[in-house]
Amino acid sequence: QLILDILEKHSSIKDTRQLTLPGQSSQAASQDEQIAILGALNSLLSREMITYETHETLSHALTEEGAQLSLTGSHEARVWAALPERGAGEPVAPQQLKTLVGDETAKVGQGRAFKAGWIAKEGGGLVKAVSEIKDTTQLELRDVDSTGTLEAGEKSLADLRKRKLITQRKGQWFTVHKGPGFSTSIAKPETDLTVEMLSSGSWKTSTFKKYNFEADGIPTNGGALHPLLKVRDEIRNIFLEMGFEEMPTDTFVESGFWCFDALFVPQQHPAREVQDTFYLSDPTTSLDPPKDYYERVSAVHSKGGYGSTGYRAPWSHEESRKLLLRTHTTASSASMLYKLAALCRGEKVSDDVLNSDIGGPAPTGDGSGDKGDGFRPAKLFSIDRVFRNETLDATHLAEFHQVEGVVADRNLTLADLIGFMRVFFKKMGLENLRFKPAYNPYTEPSLEIFAFHPDLNKWVEIGNSGMFRPEMLEPMGFPKDVRVHGWGIGLERPTMIRYGINNIRTLVGHKTSIDEIERYPAVRF
């Protein structure tokens, strides 16, 4: 209002530092007050009531010590004041001076007072050398305090700056003119055109607030997908694009039979021990699998068959029936493969997921066609949760997700597996792959997969793969020329790399920030 009133009278304000604001202490408006003035100017500008120009200044202000000395006098003046005149009293010993004026003043003040010729030594002590002094430092500080500068000029300013008594301050002041919408009263502008305004015609005389196209929108509240789900979606798309079908994986609880035995994992394998696998205490045992299949599996373990010697270790029905939290999604792959082999076993098949493949013609990898043995090729995948009795740390959780792909066809080779993985991982943005021979009880050969990660600039282990063993496939009923290869990768690792997360506990669990989850962008490989 003050600005508008002055403009009304004088039509412009040349220098806002000349304004006297209500409640203002000194004559001219200070730097802090210029900031308040700027706020008022901007609000008037947005209503087009004024225009203004900004001018930059460099000014000086007292430091805390400078402000102190402007009140008490400089260190040197205080030292001088504490001493007796020559001949008028006992000279003051340096140690005594400290108790009189304080350590800091005694230290700094003595040197400067000597240099100015204000004090002198007399018999091991100090006395005044002159009867009167002019405390230039104090006067200069007061000058800087009230004007922001010094008449004495830049040399003295530099000296005070060096003594850390003053600091330089950037400042602004403004020149103000009337704007096209000038008025002395600030009408609250309308923000909305209402029905009432239209029917009464008041819109014609109303002033409207200008749109601020720079303003941020109000953040919308809504649900957000967890990063793991976003990455899962992308990977699922890759599989679908390559003609894979998704396996049902709702069986978090599995039996030892499907999780291990069907996969030809020996019953004595360390992965089956409680340190690695969570077993259920209630109920503890599963229903029995199909009897004849169970017998073929137990036989291949304990006695061998299909050209294999087996493990020749005692077979435990109890071990096979134990209920557990599945340690890998390969348990689901095993039961799906068992279903896929149903036609080969001469059974009727009614499973929805496999019907499309099983019911259709039988395109084969090597063009050998349907041999009348009921086999239909399949490409299956799953992405779901698995559980392991792990020690938790920055990169390990006891529950995590596996991505798994399985391809069944006649006469597949290791080259097919490698070729498939190259295509698959290329779609994930990983072009540089290396394969290392590895061991899995259920695949032979087995390959660990390493990828060169362009963002991390190093090779990282991304997964595990292999050709399923005949000891697993043939008891299911697959013909001898059917090969099945599979590979598995984790879901958490690519997600963490993707979002630059290095502690898994910020991704999953109670330490996850909901806000972060809302802000994470979608994923496109």
Coarse DSSP helix, strand, coil percentages of the chain, rounded to the nearest 5 percent: 35, 20, 40
Show the tokens assigned to 75.
């260190």
**Does position 471 bind ligand PHE by CB under 6 A?**
no
Rounded CA-CA distance 105/54 in Å is 43
Provide the minimum distance between the beta carbon of 478 and ligand PHE in the complex, in angstroms, as a whole number. Answer: 16
Show the tokens assigned to 480.
């001898």
Among 113-121, 363-371, 464-472, 517-525, the segment contacting ligand PHE (CB under 6 A)? 464-472
**Does position 328 bind ligand PHE by CB under 6 A?**
yes
Strands 433-440 and 458-468: unpaired
**Does position 487 bind ligand PHE by CB under 6 A?**
yes
**Does position 330 bind ligand PHE by CB under 6 A?**
yes
Are 135 and 77 in contact by the 8 Å Cβ rule? The answer is yes
Contact letters (x/-) for ligand PHE, 125-164, by CB under 6 A? ----------------------------------------
- The residue sitting closest to ligand PHE, measured at its beta carbon, is 488
Nearer to ligand PHE among residue 106 and residue 417 (C-beta): 417
**Does position 374 bind ligand PHE by CB under 6 A?**
no
Binder of ligand PHE out of 91, 171, 470, 486 (CB under 6 A) = 486
Provide the minimum distance between the beta carbon of 282 and ligand PHE in the complex, in angstroms, as a whole number. Answer: 27
C-alpha distances out from residue 321 to 248, 335, 374, Å: 21, 15, 30
Nearer to ligand PHE among residue 143 and residue 448 (C-beta): 448
Among 352-360, 424-432, 484-492, 510-518, the segment contacting ligand PHE (CB under 6 A)? 484-492
Nearer to ligand PHE among residue 137 and residue 402 (C-beta): 402
Nearer to ligand PHE among residue 486 and residue 494 (C-beta): 486
Nearer to ligand PHE among residue 16 and residue 440 (C-beta): 440
**Which residues in the 429-458 window bind ligand PHE by CB under 6 A?**
440, 443
- DSSP annotation of 205 reads T
Cα of 485 vs its chain's centroid, Å: 37
Rounded CA-CA distance 246/303 in Å is 35
Contacts (Cβ under 8 Å, ≥6 apart) of 264? 300, 301, 441, 442, 469, 471, 472
Contact letters (x/-) for ligand PHE, 375-414, by CB under 6 A? -----------------------------x----------
Among 141-149, 284-292, 339-347, 481-489, the segment contacting ligand PHE (CB under 6 A)? 481-489
**Does position 470 bind ligand PHE by CB under 6 A?**
no
List residues bridging with 387 in a β-sheet.
399
Provide the minimum distance between the beta carbon of 219 and ligand PHE in the complex, in angstroms, as a whole number. Answer: 40
Nearer to ligand PHE among residue 137 and residue 330 (C-beta): 330
Binder of ligand PHE out of 488, 496, 508, 523 (CB under 6 A) = 488
Nearer to ligand PHE among residue 197 and residue 242 (C-beta): 242
Among 46-54, 197-205, 294-302, 463-471, the segment contacting ligand PHE (CB under 6 A)? 463-471
Burial class (CB in 10 A: 0-12, 13-18, 19+), 128: buried
Nearer to ligand PHE among residue 105 and residue 443 (C-beta): 443
Q: If we measure between CA atoms, which residue out of 276, 363, 329 comes closest to residue 442?
A: 329
Provide the minimum distance between the beta carbon of 416 and ligand PHE in the complex, in angstroms, as a whole number. Answer: 14
Provide the minimum distance between the beta carbon of 330 and ligand PHE in the complex, in angstroms, as a whole number. Answer: 4
How many residues make contact with ligand PHE (CB under 6 A)? 11
Residue 283 phi/psi, 5-degree rounding, is -75, 165
- How many other C-beta atoms lie within 10 A of the C-beta of residue 455? 9
Provide the minimum distance between the beta carbon of 223 and ligand PHE in the complex, in angstroms, as a whole number. Answer: 31
Peptide bond into 283 cis (omega under 30): yes
Are 327 and 253 in contact by the 8 Å Cβ rule? The answer is no
Q: What is the largest CA-CA distance in the chain?
A: 131
At position 357, the amino acid (one-letter code) is: D
Nearer to ligand PHE among residue 163 and residue 385 (C-beta): 385
Show the tokens assigned to 32.
């802090």
Burial class (CB in 10 A: 0-12, 13-18, 19+), 241: exposed
Nearer to ligand PHE among residue 364 and residue 465 (C-beta): 465
How would you list the strands of the sheet with 12-13, edge to edge? 12-13, 166-178, 50-62
**Does position 464 bind ligand PHE by CB under 6 A?**
yes
Among 39-47, 238-246, 334-342, 480-488, the segment contacting ligand PHE (CB under 6 A)? 480-488
Contacts (Cβ under 8 Å, ≥6 apart) of 438? 446, 447, 448, 464, 466
Are 127 and 91 in contact by the 8 Å Cβ rule? The answer is yes
Binder of ligand PHE out of 171, 466, 475, 477 (CB under 6 A) = 466
Contacts (Cβ under 8 Å, ≥6 apart) of 77? 109, 113, 133, 135, 137, 138
**Does position 335 bind ligand PHE by CB under 6 A?**
no
| Residues that bind ligand PHE in the complex, under the rule CB under 6 A | 328, 330, 404, 440, 443, 464-466, 486-488
